[in-house]
Amino acid sequence: MMNLEDYIQYKAALSLWRYVPPFLIVFGITGNVLTIIILLQKHLRNSATSTFLVTLAISDILALITGLVRQWVKYTFKVDIREDLTVTGCRIHWFVVYVVTQFSSWMLICVTLERIISTFLPHTRRVFCKQRNASIAVAAIFLTLCLLNSHYLFGYGDKYNGNHTIIERCVPMEDNYTHFISYSWTWIDLCVFYLIPMLFLLIGNMMIIFKVLDSHRRSRRAVVPSTNVPSTTATQRNKTSSLTVLLMLVSALFIICITPIVVYPIGEPYWIQGASEQRLATMFLSNALANLLMYSNHSVNFVLYFLSGSKFRSEVRKVISCKRRQVQVAPHQGTLTRSVSRVVS
């Protein structure tokens, strides 16, 4: 009879854990650090969008460091950082991983809401979308998620047998709490981490796209025919098409990358009952793929920003080459901020 380690699914999962994370970690941290540097430039740092995107980048970096680094070390060097920590360290690690991953999703909601206000209420945007209001929103969301996940700071620890010997480290200590984590918390996390952000992104992006398309249709009808109308119309169509693709890309990427990691924990308690070694190997592979897809979502935001417009690419080149910017602040601010914020609207 074959052991769990003998199945090709198990070996494939180990290979994925060993070779994919280093690329995601290096690429993701580098890209997010560049994003932070660019968005903290003097002519960008005071916008609400920059506040949300900088916070998102910081959250993504923490997600990669606390979550993906642990998984890579565990399966490459057979050392579980979480289990080697003290009970307090174990609890804090669980707490941080869940807070930062949920926080990233809610930063996408904030950027989408800011874009909705800018699209439908452009004249009141400066009233609602101030940096101060953005900072308050970020703090409120962060504190709410900390409270929601505070059960990790009390429920996890080490299990002992009758001889006071540790039999399991960094696991739910009580049976009732184990049941809560397996059957109730997975649904709560599903809503907070995925369903609410996903629905908000889809509905918000559809509203924005409809409004942009409708505005361009109205502008084409209102323009007086002239020799330069065709070129202007073509430019508008190109911008509309580019924006539409980017908005749908962000929503699709979020759904594709996050769906497996929220579906798997819901099904695992049911699939694992009476599972054969082959099924366990398949579940191990499925879990690896789901986790790596989720961490990919924390790694590739920079690529979407980079593809969103020439202004952002120009800023990246300037940062990398350490050249001083020779542009005026006022006109550059509006252009770059719109280009970057469209990525996650």
DSSP letters, 167-236, are EEEEEE-SHHHHHIIIIIIHHHHIIIIIIHHHHHHHHHHHHHHHHHHHHHHHHHHHSPP-TTHHHHHHHH
Q: What is the DSSP letter of 67?
A: I
Are 60 and 90 in contact, with CB atoms under 8 Å apart? no
Which residue ranges make up each domain of the chain?
9-222+231-344
Q: In this structure, which CATH number among 3.60.110.10, 1.20.1070.10, 1.20.58.100, 3.40.1280.10 belongs to the domain 9-222+231-344?
A: 1.20.1070.10
Are 29 and 61 in contact, with CB atoms under 8 Å apart? yes
Each of the 345 residues of the chain gets a pLDDT tens digit; together they read: 678 888 999 999 999 999 999 999 999 999 899 889 888 877 767 788 888 889 999 999 999 999 999 999 999 998 888 888 888 999 999 999 999 999 999 998 988 888 888 888 877 777 677 888 899 999 999 999 999 999 999 999 888 877 777 878 889 989 899 999 988 998 898 899 999 999 998 898 888 888 877 877 777 776 555 545 445 545 545 544 455 556 567 777 888 899 898 888 878 888 888 888 999 999 999 999 999 999 999 998 777 666 655 566 676 677 677 654 444 443 444 433 333 332 333
Are 299 and 24 in contact, with CB atoms under 8 Å apart? yes
Determine the Cα–Cα distance for residues 288 and 316; give it in Å rounded to an integer: 33
Determine the Cα–Cα distance for residues 160 and 165; give it in Å rounded to an integer: 5
Helix (H, G, I), strand (E, B) or coil at 159: strand
What's the pTM?
Answer: 0.81
Are 157 and 88 in contact, with CB atoms under 8 Å apart? no
